[in-house]
Structures are given as structure tokens and as C-alpha cells.
Amino acid sequence: MADAPRTPAPKRKLIDPHIHMVSRTTDDYQAMANAGVVAVIEPAFWTGQPRTEIGTFKDYFSCLVGFERFRASQFGIKHYCTIGLNSKEANNEALAEEVIELLPRFAGKEGVVAIGEIGYDEMTKAEEKFFRVQLELAREMDLPVMIHTPHRNKKAGTSRSMDVCMEHGIPPSKVVIDHNNEETCKEVLDRGFWAAFTIYPKTKMGNKRMVEIAKRYGSERVIVDSSADWGISDALAVPKTADLMLASGLAEAAVHAMCYANALAAYGQSGQMKESDWLDARAIDPKREFEGNSLLRGGGPEAAEDSRIIE
Amino acid sequence: MSAQTLLLNWLKPRLAPESLAWLEEKAALLATGAPEKTVSLAFSMALRYSGKAPLALDAAALKAARTEVPGWNPSDWTCDDAARVFLLLSLPPGTASSGIMDRLYQTADVAEAAALQKAVAVLAFPEGHLARAREALRSNIKAVFEAITLRNPYPALNFDNVGWNQMVVKTFFVESPVHEIEGLDRRVNPPLSRMLSDLAEERWAAGRAFSPQLWRCVGPCADSRGLDNLKKALAQGAPAEKRAAVLALQSCPDPQAALILQAEPALAAAAREGTLTWENL
């Protein structure tokens, strides 16, 4: 815990509904907890290096519901996840078929709040096929869907993602369209989908631009996330955006909606995510949460007051 | 009454009738060799029917558990633990079911992994669960480690000294309540005594505290270094550690131990008379 902020946790509560914690350090967890993040959603995604074996997918999904959940709990942060085959790796068709077989084993587990992140990367035939298969799985399991919209050809990819959801009879109210920008968000909101914005340095969205979007479109069905991962990204993007929004004169209620309540409402439709999970976490589950401290040895919230000292 | 019947009886007043019916229906399917997919889905979905409230068993129920399976102590079990173990008990005992449980464990979430470890307390065919139980000792997830280590009769009955000693030392290392290990005093052995003496010396050198229960597993098999450490704990330890050293020396057959005890005649008498115990340390 070299330089983690030691300020007491603020009273406000925030949710980062899209962050890849497997790539982040305990310093990030500590800083997030200090900044008021009470819950995170970790979507299953690719991990930078393409996978070539089904076993690595199995272990990755297991990590999302196992060790990563435990790591988060040590900092008082509730960890949820989404399960799915991402669009990039859908292009390895033989492997993708095996992953699809594996998904039901995880999709019904505790704390799995959506099928995702799924959608398009290059909009290939293989991506299309596995996108549709997973929309059917979401429908069967009555789970929300988290859509990753492509970096290239984004506008067309975003429209197409929504069309395909509608074709499969998934109501827009159960679909979060993520990584929106100024060009995509109007259509997403007009069609009744949740519109998530990823505050990710230099690529997807900056927090100043986000403030302008919030001023223009309001807070209804708008969600802020970080998508922080193994790239140059910021695990504090949600707190920083909330701060900037308040400083820019946006109403507290609107900021609360975009940085907490809307994500809870959207993913809460899974039945797997409730506010009481973190408000009553100690009372409900004192054994399982908060107590395990094997990672906290020599660090963590009770570490030395003087950050130059390592005890 | 079988462990499975006990679990069902405990779940009855705690679950809605339709949830109980779901559970019994799945158990019947599992008993007759259902496909593995059915087992894994039922095992995961059980939580949605059971909820995760503590079972909060009363003294009579805990006594019934002990009577059925000596050492079984489900005092910290939750309703999802009970429902999941109820399902596992429906699987026909043998290598096929053990294999299914191994694969369940590989893809388990935290609560599922803990339930699989608690289950070995009551599952038949203990040899089929050994590798999985040993694997839990390597887990850094405390809830999983404690599920096999604490209040569970399986380790004392099935682990060899290598596994047992790793478990006990890690329990001290991660600061779990050692006195809740079933069979702790029964399974003392000289290598464990030496490993714990090493741990005590490490902690002293680092200026870090450790549970005085550590001396409980050093005393009965203490060699000369163990006795030296006990002497030091007796002379320099905080009050609880002093008392622990007295109890440990009391349990040591080496005549040297009795000589060391002369330094604390009042505590030694209390230990002899049974007013000082590991429970009231």
C-alpha cells in the first residue's frame, strides 16, 4: 500500500459497473474503497493475449466468481461479474463453440448479473453467430445483457447491436449498451436502452466530455463506468467523473443516478445484485466477507499510518 | 438418522415449501445418476431456493449432528451450505461422483467451494475427496481454507502428517482460530512441534504476535529446542502466553518440563487441577 490515500471513506456511494479487476492491484482496490466505491461489476472479456485453450476460459470464469470476489471483499467492495464470450475471441470458431458449451455452468451462479460483454468487434459472421447464441442464453436465463460496442465502425455497430437484440425479443430495458460516445448515445437513449459511458483516457470518453453529455441528455438510463483493465486506464474514473459533475453544477441526484443508482437498477434485474448486499454485508455474511485477510498481511486498511514505513 | 435426513429436517422450517420441493426433486434426480450438467446446475441454483441465512442450529441439533457423525460441527453452516450438501449426499458414493465433485470444485464460486469442503465432513467414500480437501489448504480464500480446516472432522481422520501439519501451521499463519480444529490434540507429532517452534522463533525475530495456542501443539512432543522456547515463553510472555506455556509444559512427558514448571508453581497447580485449560486460556 505504498501511496494509497488514507482519507476516511466518503459518505457517498458509487458503483463502477464495468471494470476488469483481475488486471488491477490492491492499491486500486484500496483507493476505490477510499473514494466511495461500494460495488463493482467485472465483465468477462478478453485478457489482452488471445486464449488458445478452453481451460484458460474455464479458469478465467472461475477466477471471476472465486478469487477476484474474495480479493474485492477484503476491501469491503462487493464484486459481481458478467459471463460471456467476447466478440474478438468469437472469431476462433472452434474454441468459441467450446466456450459457449461452458457458459451455462457459470451463468447461473451467485453474483452473475448479466451475459456480457458481448457484441461486435469487426462485425464478422462468426461474431454475429455467437452474439445471437448468447442473446438466446440471456433470454433463457432471464438475465440482462451487457453490450460491448466496437471501436471501429462504432456507430453502425451500435445500431446493429440494438437491432439484433430486438430481433431476439430482448427488451431494451434489459440491455446496457456500453462504450457510447457523442455520436451513438442519442439513438441508444431514444430506443429505450441503457446507455453506458466508459471514462477511459485518450480513447473512449473523457470526464469533461461526459459532463457535457450529461448536461445535454440528462441522467435517465445513463451509466458511467471506467472499464479500467490492463491498458492505460483509471480505476478511479467513476469517482473522478462524479466529482467533476458535481463541480460543474450537475444536481447531486443526477450524479447519484449516473454513478450508482442506474447501474443498480439495470443489473439488479438479474436478481443477483441488491443494495442490501453492501449495506448489510457485515451483518448478513460476516464469515464470508471482510474477514479473510491473507492478502492484507503487511498492507491494507490497517497498515501503518506513516506510508514510508512497511510493517 | 442419516446426515442427509438431519439436513432436510433443519431446512424444512427454514425454506418455503416450494423451495423444499425443488430441492427434494433435484436430490431424487441426482440419486439416480442424472447427467453432470443437471448436477452442476442444481448445485449452483440451490442458493436461489435456500437463501444464505445462517442455519443457526440450537444445542440439540448440534448434538444430533455430533451423534450422527463424530466431530461434525455445522454451527457456522448457512442454509445454502445445507442445501448444497444435501444435494451432494444424494449422489451415489464412488469415484464417478467424486469426479463430478472435483469438477464442481474447479468451477466453484466462493460459497460453492466452501460448501464442497464442508461436505466432506459427512460424505461417504472419504478417499475420493482427499485431493480436493488437500487442495483447499492451498487456497488463499480464507472462507475456503476454513471450511476444511475448522469444525470439520475430515482432516484429522484422513490427512497424513504432511497435510495435517501444513494445515495446522497455516491456521496459525493466517490467524484463524486454531482451537476450532477438530482433533488438534489427537494429531500432535514431533515434526509439527518443530515446525511450530520455528514459527514462534520467526515471529519473535520479526516482533510479531502469534496465538498462544501455538504452544499447545509444541508441548506434547517438545524436543530440547521446544523446551527452550517454552521456557522463554514462560519467562517473557504476556499473561496468556505464560498460561499457554504452563499447559504445554504440563503436557510434555520430558522430565525437563517439570523442572521448568517450578518457576510458576501457582499456574502449574492450576493446570494440574484442571482450573486452567486451553479453553479458558
Q: How many helices (H) and strands (E) does chain B have?
A: 16, 0
Q: What is the pLDDT of residue A136?
A: 97
pLDDT beyond 70 at A238: yes
Indicate whether A307 pLDDT > 80.
no
Q: Does B31 touch chain A (CB under 8 A)?
A: no
Cβ-Cβ contacts under 8 Å, B175 against chain A: 293
- Check CB contact of B206 with chain A, cutoff 8 Å: no
Q: Is the model's pLDDT at A209 over the cut of 80? A: yes
| Contacts B76 to A, Cβ<8 Å | 287
A294 in B contact zone (CB under 8 Å)? yes
Q: Residue B194 — very low, low, confident or very high, per pLDDT cuts 50/70/90? A: very high
Query: Is B106's CB within 8 Å of A62's CB?
Result: yes
Judged by CB atoms closer than 8 Å, whether chains meet at A287 and B143 is answered as yes
pLDDT score recorded for residue A304: 54
Q: With bands split at pLDDT 50, 70 and 90, how would you rate the model's confidence at B278?
A: very high
For A307, phi then psi, to 5°, come to: -70, -10
Confidence of residue A306 (pLDDT cuts 50, 70, 90): confident
Q: Look at residue B95 and tell me whether its pLDDT is greater than 80.
A: yes
CB contact under 8 A, A294 and B174: yes
CA distances from B234 to B172, B179, B219, B245 (A): 20, 20, 12, 6
Grid cell of A165 as nine digits: 437484440
A59 pLDDT above the threshold of 70: yes
Q: What percent of chain B has pLDDT over 90?
A: 99
A8, pLDDT greater than 70: no
**Contact flag A293-B174 (C-beta cutoff 8 Å):** yes
CB B163 within 8 Å of CB B155: yes
What is the C-alpha separation between A296 and B162, in angstroms, rounded?
27
Name every chain B residue with its beta carbon within 8 A of the beta carbon of A284: 52
Residue B274 grid coordinates: 484442571
Q: What is the C-alpha end-to-end distance of chain A, expressed in Å?
A: 11
Q: Are A20 and A230 in contact (CB under 8 A)?
A: yes
Task: Give pLDDT, residue B1.
Answer: 82
User: What is the reported pLDDT for A13?
Assistant: 96
Q: Is the pLDDT score of B131 beyond 90?
A: yes
Contact A113, A277 (CB under 8 A): no
Nearest to B111 among A62, A110, A295 (CB): A110
A289 pLDDT exceeds 90?
Answer: no
> Mean pLDDT across the stretch A89-109?
95
Q: Give the model's pLDDT for residue B224.
A: 96
Q: How far is CA A5 from the centre of its chain?
A: 23
Q: Give CA–CA dist B146/B167, Å, rounded.
A: 10
Whether the CB-CB separation of A216 and A254 falls below 8 Å is answered with: no
Confidence of residue B136 (pLDDT cuts 50, 70, 90): very high
State yes or no: pLDDT of B16 exceeds 80.
yes
C-alpha cell at B57: 442450529
Q: What pLDDT sits at residue A203?
A: 83
Q: What share of chain A has pLDDT > 90, as a percent?
A: 83
Inform me whether the pLDDT recorded for A33 exceeds 90: yes
As a three-state string, the secondary structure of A19-37 is CCHHHCCHHHHHHHHHCCE
Alpha carbons A300 and A303: distance in angstroms, whole number: 5
| Residue B227: per-residue pLDDT | 98
Give the DSSP per-residue string, A69-109.
Answer: HHHHHTTT-EEEEEE---TTGGGSHHHHHHHHHHHHHHHTS
Question: Is residue B178 scored above 90 in pLDDT?
Answer: yes
Q: How confident is the model at residue B234 (pLDDT cuts 50, 70, 90)?
A: very high
pLDDT of residue B230: 98
Asked if B110 and A58 come within 8 Å (Cβ–Cβ), the reply is no
Neighbouring C-beta atoms of residue A17, cutoff 10 Å: 33
DSSP A199-267: -BTTTTB-HHHHHHHHHHH-STTEEEE----SSS--TTHHHHHHHHHHHTT--HHHHHIIIIIHHHHHH
Length of chain A: 311
Minimal CA separation from B141 to chain A, in Å: 6
Alpha-carbon span A37 to A16, nearest angstrom = 7
Picking from A69, A104, A294, the nearest residue to B110 by CB comes out as A69
- In this predicted structure, what is the pLDDT of residue A288? 43
| pLDDT at residue A294 tops 70 | no
Of A62, A108, A293, the CB nearest to B45: A108
Quote the mean pLDDT of chain B.
Answer: 96
Q: How many other C-beta atoms lie within 10 A of the C-beta of residue B38? A: 13
What is chain A's mean pLDDT, rounded? 90
Give A248's Cβ-side CA count (13 Å radius). Answer: 18
- For cell 479458558, what's the residue? B280
Q: Is the pLDDT of residue A173 over 90?
A: yes
Q: What is the average pLDDT across A105-128?
A: 95
Q: C-alpha cell of A10?
A: 466518503
Q: Is residue A44's pLDDT more than 80? A: yes
pLDDT band at residue A309 using 50, 70 and 90 as cut-offs = confident
A277 → chain B, closest CA residue: B52
B110-119 and B79-88 helices, crossing angle to 10°: 60
Q: Which residue has the cell 458481448?
A: A118
Q: Which residues pair with A224 in a beta bridge?
A: A197
Q: Which three cell numbers stand for residue A280?
A: 448489510
Best residue of B110, B116, B208 to probe chain A, by most A CBs closer than 10 Å: B110
pLDDT at B281: 86
The whole-number pLDDT of residue A299 equals: 42
Q: B80, B115 in Cβ contact below 8 A? A: yes
pLDDT at residue A311, as a whole number? 76
CA distances from A23 to A83, A89, A273, B277 (A): 17, 18, 23, 48
Tell me the helix, strand and coil percentages in chain A, rounded to 5. 45, 15, 40
Grid coordinates standing for A203? 480513447
In the predicted model, what is the mean pLDDT of residues A184-210? 93
Tens digit of each residue's pLDDT (9 = 90 or more) over B108-123: 999 999 999 999 999 9
Q: For the purposes of burial, counting CB atoms within 10 Å of the CB of B275, is it exposed (0-12), middle (13-18) or buried (19 or more)? A: exposed
Q: Quick one: pLDDT at residue A310? A: 78
**Listed residue (B207, B234, B239) closest to B218, CA to CA:** B234
pLDDT of residue A153 exceeding 60: yes
**In terms of C-beta distances under 8 Å and separation of at least 24 residues, what long-range contacts does B65-68 make, across chains too?**
B65/B3, B65/B6, B68/B1, B68/B2, B68/B3, B68/B6, B68/B122
- Is the pLDDT at B126 greater than 60, yes or no? yes
Mean pLDDT, residues A109-129 taken together: 96
User: Is the minimum CB–CB distance between A104 and chain B shorter than 8 Å?
Assistant: yes
Q: Which pLDDT value is given to residue A305?
A: 64
CB-CB neighbours of A114 under 10 Å = 32
**Interfacial B residues in 69-98 facing A (CB < 8 Å):** 76
**A window 220-279, beta carbon within 8 A of B:** 271
Asked if the model's pLDDT at residue A10 lies above 60, the reply is no
Query: CA-CA distance, A114 to B107, in Å (whole number)?
Result: 18
CB half-sphere exposure, B58, CA atoms < 13 A: 3
More confident residue, A135 or A291: A135
Cα-based distances in Å from A78 to A32, A45, A223: 12, 19, 18
pLDDT given at position A204 = 79
Do the Cβ atoms of A294 and B142 come within 8 Å?
yes
C-alpha neighbours within 13 Å on the C-beta side of residue A36:
15
Q: Which residue has the cell 506455556?
A: B245
Separation of CA B152 from chain center: 4
Between helix B224-236 and helix B190-206 the angle, nearest 10°, is 40
From the CA of A122, how many Å to the nearest CA of chain B? 31
CB contact under 8 A, A70 and B106: no
Pairwise CB contact (< 8 Å): B76 & A287: yes
Residue % of chain A over a pLDDT of 70: 89
Is the pLDDT at A142 greater than 70, yes or no?
yes
CA–CA min distance B144, chain A (Å): 9
Mean pLDDT (whole number) for B156-161:
98
